């Protein structure tokens, strides 16, 4: 039976122009990014106007889209540069802006004709709020992470067909209500609602006895201590059918501050899972190889967030704030010569002659080989890459694409 459900957009993070290119190459339909102002990811490299122009050209040539985040909670002084910024976005051809503040919404309407998406920072969790945003002129609402699948379905039934819904399906979770947090401002003087979150929730804390100065008591379950606000990462790749049937227009991956490899591996897996489901929904089953990919990138323990029930203690990692990392990216392919089977690569981490490695590329992943030939850029045989970030040549016994990642399992 032909699938009557509309295939949702796969929306990827682009913390830089290079990550945008990787996201599109590995299967994203659209990317979201921040400019050098008004973005909630001040730590990301973010986009200059020149980057935006190049990104739009790349995206539109591929039939894909770019959305700009203007989702800070601005103070008065933040608004001064906004009209000029909006006019520039419109001139460049940005496909939509994400906003969370009513004042910013008003200024977008006043100073541009840019389509508006409502950011998850607006904390939208019911259909009346969705209807209100649409009445103001919004085309899409990014629902708060606190919505369950049941609630999303109810929202979909009680809004117009034209209003699109977007949800996060993968990435870091915030201990506070969709990011409305003052902890970072209090602890580190960095305002999370204006793009500078220090992730104070993931720090280790102790109690101090009031009358005895410097008498500290660790909050701990064992020798590692307890991280009482350290939420697990969201991962919904095992629930593609449920997401597809909820009437969601866009499936969003978190991670503008994360690596190119993270963007490639997560986008690649979700792209293949969505396409596989859409090709034959009645017989869909998630291949183990796609699920396994989730564990080959640096991550925290995974959880399904609020999609099925409100997470309690099982949604927190108490014993560490470290990421789980089982693989290292050792090099990225820049060029590949099919005749010689030699790939020009840029080293990322240490590897040596004789290492068993895997390839992640847009069309395949997990294909392994042993490094039997390794050369410097001049073609001289070497046993390892002695200089960090150096260009090297590796014989790969099968065809690989530019921007393929060579990874090695950590032992």
Residues 130 and 258 in one domain: yes
Nearest to 261 by CA among 298, 233, 302, 303: 298
Nearest to 3 by CA among 283, 406, 400, 300: 283
Task: Give the model's pLDDT for residue 29.
Answer: 98
C-beta pairs of 113-119 under 8 Å, 24+ apart in sequence? 114/86, 114/89, 114/90, 115/139, 115/140, 116/140, 117/67, 117/141, 117/142, 117/164, 117/166, 118/142, 119/69, 119/71
Q: Which residues pair with 208 in a beta bridge?
A: 216
Range of the domain at 405: 327-409
Q: Computed from CA positions of residues 255, 256, 259, 264, in that sequence, does the dihedral angle turn out positive or negative?
A: positive
Residues 108 and 150 in one domain: yes
The answer for residues whose C-beta is within 8 angstroms of residue 392's C-beta and 6 or more apart is 331, 344, 345, 346, 347, 374, 375, 376, 377, 382, 385
Is 5 exposed, middle or buried (CB count within 10 Å of its CB: 0-12, 13-18, 19+)?
middle
- How does pLDDT run along the chain (411 residues), one tens digit per residue? 344 568 999 999 999 999 999 999 999 999 999 998 776 555 556 899 999 999 999 999 999 999 999 988 888 988 999 999 999 999 999 999 999 999 999 999 999 999 999 999 899 999 999 999 999 999 999 999 989 999 999 999 999 999 999 999 998 776 655 556 666 665 666 665 555 666 666 666 666 666 666 665 555 555 555 666 677 889 999 999 999 999 999 999 999 989 999 999 999 999 999 999 999 999 999 999 999 999 999 888 888 888 998 877 676 666 666 667 899 999 999 999 999 999 999 999 999 999 999 999 998 788 999 999 999 999 999 999 988 899 999 999 999 999 999 999 998
What whole-number distance in Å separates Cα of residue 367 and Cα of residue 213? 58
Residues 125 and 274 in one domain: yes
User: What are the two backbone dihedrals, phi and then psi, of residue 193, each rounded to the nearest 5 degrees?
Assistant: -85, 0
What whole-number distance in Å separates Cα of residue 286 and Cα of residue 277? 8
Of the candidates 315, 348, 369, which is a domain's last residue?
A: 315
What whole-number distance in Å separates Cα of residue 280 and Cα of residue 267? 20
Residues 159 and 281 in one domain: yes
Of the candidates 295, 315, 335, which is a domain's last residue?
A: 315
How many residues are there in the chain?
411
Residues 302 and 384 in one domain: no
Task: Give the model's pLDDT for residue 241.
Answer: 96
Q: Is residue 167 part of a domain?
A: yes
Residues 397 and 363 in one domain: yes
Per-residue DSSP letter, 213: T
Q: Which residues pair with 135 in a beta bridge?
A: none
Of the candidates 268, 284, 315, which is a domain's last residue?
A: 315
Is there a contact between 112 and 87 (Cβ–Cβ < 8 Å)? yes
What tokens does 286 get? 């998630």
**Could you give the number of structural domains in the chain?**
2
Q: Is residue 100 part of a domain?
A: yes
Q: Is residue 84 part of a domain?
A: yes
Residues 147 and 253 in one domain: yes
Please give the model's pTM, rounded to 2 decimal places. 0.87
Q: Is residue 129 part of a domain?
A: yes
Q: What is the 3-state secondary structure (H, E, C) of 132-156?
A: HHHHHCCCEEECCCCCCHHHHHHHH
Nearest to 377 by CA among 328, 330, 335: 335
Nearest to 35 by CA among 103, 75, 88, 80: 88
The answer for residues whose C-beta is within 8 angstroms of residue 228's C-beta and 6 or more apart is 205, 219, 316, 318
Q: Is residue 215 part of a domain?
A: no
Per-residue DSSP letter, 326: -
Residue 62: CA count within 13 A, CB half-sphere: 20
Residues 13 and 148 in one domain: yes
Residues 151 and 274 in one domain: yes
User: What's 147's domain CATH number?
Assistant: 3.20.20.70
What whole-number distance in Å separates Cα of residue 28 and Cα of residue 380? 38
């Amino acid at each position: 039976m032909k699938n009557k459900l509309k295939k949702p957009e796969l929306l990827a993070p682009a913390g830089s122009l290079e990550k945008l290119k990787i996201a599109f190459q590995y299967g994203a339909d659209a990317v979201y990014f921040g400019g050098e102002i008004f973005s909630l990811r001040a730590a990301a490299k973010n986009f200059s106007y020149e980057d935006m122009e190049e990104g739009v050209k790349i995206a539109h040539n591929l039939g894909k889209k770019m959305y700009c985040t203007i989702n800070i909670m601005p103070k008065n002084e933040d608004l001064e540069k906004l009209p000029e910024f909006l006019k520039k976005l419109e001139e460049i051809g940005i496909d939509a802006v994400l906003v969370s503040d009513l004042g910013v919404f008003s200024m977008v309407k006043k100073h541009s004709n840019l389509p508006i998406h409502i950011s998850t920072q607006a904390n939208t969790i019911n259909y009346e709020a969705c209807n209100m945003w649409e009445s103001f002129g919004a085309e899409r609402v990014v629902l708060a992470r606190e919505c369950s699948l049941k609630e999303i379905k109810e929202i979909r039934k009680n809004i117009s067909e034209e209003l699109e819904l977007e949800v996060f399906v993968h990435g870091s979770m915030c201990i506070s209500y969709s990011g409305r947090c003052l902890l970072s401002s209090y602890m580190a003087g960095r305002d999370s609602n204006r793009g500078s979150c220090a992730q104070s929730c993931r720090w280790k804390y102790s109690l101090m006895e009031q009358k005895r100065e410097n008498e500290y008591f660790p909050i701990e379950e064992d020798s590692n201590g307890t991280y009482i606000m350290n939420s697990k990462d969201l991962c919904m790749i095992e629930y593609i059918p449920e997401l597809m049937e909820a009437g969601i227009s866009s499936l969003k991956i978190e991670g503008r501050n994360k690596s190119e490899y993270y963007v490639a591996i997560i986008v690649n897996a979700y792209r293949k899972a969505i396409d596989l489901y859409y090709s034959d929904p009645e017989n869909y089953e998630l291949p183990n190889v796609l699920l396994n990919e989730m564990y080959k990138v640096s991550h925290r323990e995974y959880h399904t967030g609020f999609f099925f029930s409100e997470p309690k203690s099982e949604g927190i990692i108490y014993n560490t704030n470290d990421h789980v990392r089982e693989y290292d990216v050792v090099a990225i392919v820049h060029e590949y010569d099919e005749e010689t089977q030699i790939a020009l690569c840029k080293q990322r981490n240490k590897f040596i002659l004789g290492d068993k490695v895997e390839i992640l590329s847009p069309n395949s992943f997990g294909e392994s080989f042993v490094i039997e030939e390794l050369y410097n850029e001049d073609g001289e045989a070497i046993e390892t890459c002695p200089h960090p970030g150096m260009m090297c040549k590796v014989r790969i016994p099968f065809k690989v694409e530019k921007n393929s990642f060579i990874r090695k399992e950590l032992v």
